[in-house]
Amino acid sequence: MNGWLMRTLLGRIGGLALTLFLASVVIFSALLLTPGDPIAALAGGAKPTPELVAQIRAEYHLDDPIWARYLQWLGGVLTGDFGRSFVYQTDVLGLIAPRFAVTLQLVLLTVVMILIAGVGSGILAATRGPAVDRAVGLLTALGMALPTFVVAILLIWVFAKSLGWFPVYGEGAPGLDRFWHLVLPAASLAVMFIAYISRVTRSSLVAQLHSEHVETARVRGIPRGRIFRVHVFRNAAPQILAISGTTIAGLFAAAAIAEQAFGLGGIGSLLTEAAARKDLPVVQLVSLLLVTIFVVLNAVADLVSALIDPDSVNAGRPA
């Protein structure tokens, strides 16, 4: 079991490194190949003369071949030098770190909401009879249909403007104030994912509830609660976890919409601004960060499912 786990782990880490490498190549070349020019950002608002343009191009190696620029960039990244922002003329890492903290807090709060409401309502739908099932089904259909920005507008309207319970803008000061500022953005971000996780949870549980071994357990007179914990939920958990892992990873990218709607200074809003201004070093690092989070969270979700139920992983693989 331990040897198997080590192998899985090593294989995972190897795959992870390879994925990240490929992702960095794709991100880097895609950015260089997109139309538009960072000169406007670099010239800092002045109307650049041809001489200034030439000077900037030389200074930032804009005319070097893509592979040379990639290697230079990769070398920097590996030695902890992530470059300077074209727009702000400051260290990219320093620019990203505080914003990443905001996004991370937003995502964590969203995850808590998703797991409680999503898994909770899925369990209710699967176990509390057809009326509850239908009600949850209806709500989740609605939840999946509502785009995040629409939910944001609704939430702002009801809870911020009409009731005045929550602030409508900004990330607030760290601590309780921050938490208070993040409730509505997290809720608007969570709605669609709650609906999704709820449906996944329900269908996994229903599949287990109708499986043979549960029938057998029931016939043998094992108490309902125990059947649910040991036979149903445990078997359904890996699938729920795997889906949750991808979902949570996707939240980092989806956060941009909530950040925009609530004026949060997070990583998503930074990415959209930087992309529009062609601030390549910022876009590169944020994209790489998002890919890394996605890949790592996926791997973690896989490993955790494997730990809960090794068979589920082995079953999916050719021996």
Q: Residue numbers of the site for another protein (CB under 8 A)?
A: 35-41, 43-49, 52-53, 85, 87-90, 94-95, 98-99, 147-150, 152-153, 156, 160-161, 167-170, 256-257, 260-263, 265, 268, 270, 272-273, 276-278
Q: Compute the distance between CA of residue 299 and CA of residue 273 in angstroms, rounded to an integer.
A: 30
Taking the CA of residue 219 as centre, how many other CA atoms within 13 Å lie in the half-sphere pointing to its CB? 7
Q: How far is the CB of 4 from another protein (least distance, A)?
A: 43
Q: How far is the CB of 157 from another protein (least distance, A)?
A: 9
Q: How far is the CB of 277 from another protein (least distance, A)?
A: 6
Q: How far is the CB of 35 from another protein (least distance, A)?
A: 6
DSSP state of 60: T
Q: Which residues does 37 contact at the CB level (< 8 Å), separation at least 6?
A: 278
Q: How far is the CB of 163 from another protein (least distance, A)?
A: 12
CB nearer another protein, residue 217 or residue 285: 285
Q: Do the beta carbons of residue 254 and residue 266 sit within 8 Å?
A: no
- Tell which residue, 90, 23, 1, 110, has the closest CA to residue 290: 23
Q: How far is the CB of 191 from another protein (least distance, A)?
A: 14
- Based on the number of CB atoms within 10 Å of its own CB, is 191 exposed (0-12), middle (13-18) or buried (19 or more)? buried
Q: Compute the distance between CA of residue 184 and CA of residue 197 in angstroms, rounded to an integer.
A: 20
CB nearer another protein, residue 37 or residue 81: 37
Q: Compute the distance between CA of residue 105 and CA of residue 89 in angstroms, rounded to an integer.
A: 27
Q: Compute the distance between CA of residue 293 and CA of residue 255 in angstroms, rounded to an integer.
A: 13
CB nearer another protein, residue 279 or residue 302: 279
Q: Compute the distance between CA of residue 287 and CA of residue 23 in angstroms, rounded to an integer.
A: 9
Q: How far is the CB of 116 from another protein (least distance, A)?
A: 26
- Tell which residue, 79, 58, 80, has the closest CA to residue 69: 58
Q: Compute the distance between CA of residue 101 and CA of residue 79 in angstroms, rounded to an integer.
A: 23
CB nearer another protein, residue 114 or residue 152: 152
Q: Compute the distance between CA of residue 265 and CA of residue 98 in angstroms, rounded to an integer.
A: 9
Q: Compute the distance between CA of residue 32 and CA of residue 65 in angstroms, rounded to an integer.
A: 10
CB nearer another protein, residue 124 or residue 160: 160
CB nearer another protein, residue 92 or residue 111: 92
CA torsion sign for 54, 60, 66, 71 is positive
CB nearer another protein, residue 161 or residue 229: 161
Q: How far is the CB of 77 from another protein (least distance, A)?
A: 20
CB nearer another protein, residue 261 or residue 293: 261
